[in-house]
Structure 1
Amino acid sequence: MRALTVQPGRAHTLAVEDVAEPSAGPGELRVAGLAIGVCGTDKEIAAGEYGWAPPGRDRLILGHESLGRVLTAPPDSEFGEGDLVVGVVRRPDPVPCGACAHGEFDMCRNGRYTERGIKEIDGYGSEIWCVETDYAIKLDDGLGDAGVLIEPTTVVAKAWEQVYRIGQRAWFEPRTALVTGAGPVGLLAALLGVQHGLEVHVLDRVTDGPKPEIVDALNATYHHTSVEKAVGKIQPDIVIEATGVGALVFDAMTVTGSYGIVALTGVSPKGRALTVDAGGLNREIVLENDAVVGSVNANLRHYRQAAAALTKADPKWLASLITRRVPLHDAANAFTPESDDVKVVVTLDGSH
């Protein structure tokens, strides 16, 4: 079978190659791969900046944003042939730490977790893949290929969960939210904000292409100015930061209303210095009872939340997020951005 592989730590090693078909072990599904999403993490791995191959090997099968159909399933499982499924990315560490032992492996305390397609376990970027039933999520068949959006949705499902948990330290009835960044994570964050019944504003730098229309179709408001101009007098109760752009991160911390909560989901590059009024920022956070929280990865609860959110969403809106489909044999093109890209996927089943 064919798979999309890379040699972690070495740039220009991305390749589609023939690998052995996997056999399902006890308690595992055997799945026909339909698609994988391509995100910034995949591009960093392909650039040699990140990633770990499985022990004893020098190549890793990419793909952590998965979608597939079950070929075979254990007879005593909840899965059956033809089910639409995604595989969970992270696995708990073997010790395990306290968080992993309680199913909160997204909050692993010792860093010994592993991740499909990222860290020491092959990903889902192959024509056939296997996954433990305990780490598979069955989807509503009506989602179709939009099911490949589940993994990025888990990231924001967790972020929203964290926001509301923090908000519950006192009376909390948020009305407005600002999302910085209109990439897939930002747009999905906006979707969940609308589903929470909030007035949602989305900030991005582009002025044309599909993003403004996608935001408008959510009945949210699109902005392409500075953070200060975008929020005006709104003073959002919640900010979901989805860019990792250093200046935006700090701007986001200063524009919330009193008792505002900022969830950081974008990963910033190292080595870029900014001049920040740390004293003023600290004063504002303290005197306004503000909170800033970082959020990454997801556990099984967040996958279920993501599946429920996408099932409730407008199918046409979800379809609009997938702006480019690239067949597996041409997968390298999915790693070269185009101007109108939102979410790019690699199809594994011969479809385009």
Structure 2
Amino acid sequence: MRALTVRPGEKDSLAVVDMPDPVPGDGEVLAEGLALGICGTDREIAAAEYGWAPPGAERLVLGHESLGRVRSAPEGSGFARGDLIVGVVRRPDPVPCPACAHGEFDMCRNGRYTERGIKEIHGYGSELWTVEAGYAVKLDPALERVGVLMEPATVLAKAWDQIERIGARAWFGPERALVTGAGPIGLLAAMMGVQRGLDVHVLDRVTEGAKPRLVRELGAEYRTGALRDACDGIKPDIIIEATGVGPLVFEAMANTAAAGVLCLTGVSPAGRHLSVDAGLINRDIVLENDVVFGSVNANLRHYRLAAEALARADQGWLEALITRRVPLDRAEEALRPAPDDVKVVLELRSG
């Protein structure tokens, strides 16, 4: 089989290579790889910024945004040949920590978790792959063209789940939500906000093209300009920050409605210094009972919630999120971002 691989820590090592076909072990599903979503994490690993090969291996098979079709499955697993599936990314640490022991491996306390295509386990970027039946999630067959969006959707399924749990600390009746960033994470966040009946606004820099159109097709409002100006008009009860841009993060902290919830999903680069009025931000958060929290990764419950959200969504709208589909033999093109990209997908099947 062919697989998209890198030597972690070595620049310019990205290559599609031939590897032995995987043999499923006890309790494992064998799947034909259909598609692989490309995200910033893949680009950072390819740029040698981080990533870890499996112990004893020279190369790491990339890919954590999976979509596959079952070729064989263990008896009694709940999977059958032909089922459309995705594989969960993270595995609990071997100790395990208390969170991992309770199935909340997305909240691992000691950092000894492993991740497919990222940290010490081969990913899903190959023509064939195996996955433990307990870490595979079945999708509605109607999602074949868009099921590769499942993994990023889990990030937002978790974010919304936790927003609602935090809101339940007191009476919670949100009406308006602001999403900063109209990439795949921001757009899926907006979609799930609309599904909840909220008045959703999305803030981004571009003024034309796919992003504004996709937001408007959701029934949400697209905004450009300063975050403070956008918030003055709507005073959001919820902000989901999906850019990781430092100034936006701090502006968002000071611009929710009273008892507002700010969820940070974007990862900011380190080493950049900002001047902020920390006292004013602290005052606003304390006096308004605001909450600021970060969210990353997802556990099995969030995968199921994401599958439900995708099944309820307009399939044409979801397919429009995928702005480029690139064959495996041109994988390097997929990892080079283009100005009009929303989501880039690598097609793993030959022909």
Question: Partner of 1:316 in structure 2?
Answer: 316
In 2, the alpha carbon distance for the partners of 1:349 and 1:209 equals 30
Deviation at 1:76?
1.4
Deviations, residues 269-293 of structure 1 (Å, cap 9, x unaligned): 0011110111111111000100000
* Corresponding residue number in structure 2 for 1:123: 123
Distance in structure 2 (CA, Å) of the matches to 1:11 and 1:277: 40
* 2:185 partner letter: V
Measured in 2, the distance between the counterparts of 1:201 and 1:5 equals 38
Matched-pair contact (CA < 8 Å) for 1:35–1:145: no
Q: SS where residue 76 of structure 2 aligns?
A: coil
Count of aligned pairs = 351
Give the corresponding residue for 2:241: 241
Instruction: Give the CA deviation at 1:88.
Output: 0.1
Structure 1: distance between partners of 2:234 and 2:222: 14
Which position in structure 2 is the counterpart of 1:107?
A: 107
Tell me what 1:301 maps to. Answer: 301
2:74 alignment partner, SS class: coil
1:1-352 correspondence runs (5 A): 1-350=1-350
Q: Post-superposition, which runs of at least 4 consecutive aligned residues in structure 1 deviate over 2 A?
A: none
TM-fit CA distance, 1:310: 0.1
Q: Structure 2: how far apart are the matches of 1:217 and 1:266?
A: 24
Question: 1:233 Cα shift?
Answer: 2.8
Provide Cα deviations, 1:291-330, integer angstroms capped at 9, x if missing partner.
0000000000000000000000000000000000000000
Residue type at the aligned position of 1:91: R
CA displacement at 1:231 relative to structure 2: 2.3
Q: In the TM superposition, what whole-angstrom CA distance separates every residue of 1:33-75 from its partner, at most 9, and x where no partner exists? A: 0010000110110000011000011210000000010000112
Partner Cα distance (1:245, 1:10) in 2: 27
Q: TM-score, normalised by structure 2?
A: 0.99
Alpha-carbon distance between aligned partners in 2 of 1:258 and 1:321, rounded to the nearest angstrom? 33
**Alignment RMSD (CA, Å):** 0.7
Deviation at 1:232, TM superposition (A): 2.5
Identity %: 67
Q: Distance in 2 between matches of 1:14 and 1:224?
A: 36
Q: Which amino acid aligns with 1:331?
A: A
Deviations for 1:161-181, whole angstroms, at most 9, x for unmatched residues? 111111111000100000000
Unaligned runs of at least 5 residues, structure 1? none
State the shift of 1:234 in Å. 1.1
Unmatched segments (≥5 aa) in structure 2: none
Deviation readout 1:143-197 (Å, 9 max, x if unpaired): 1120000000000111111111111110001000000000000000000000111
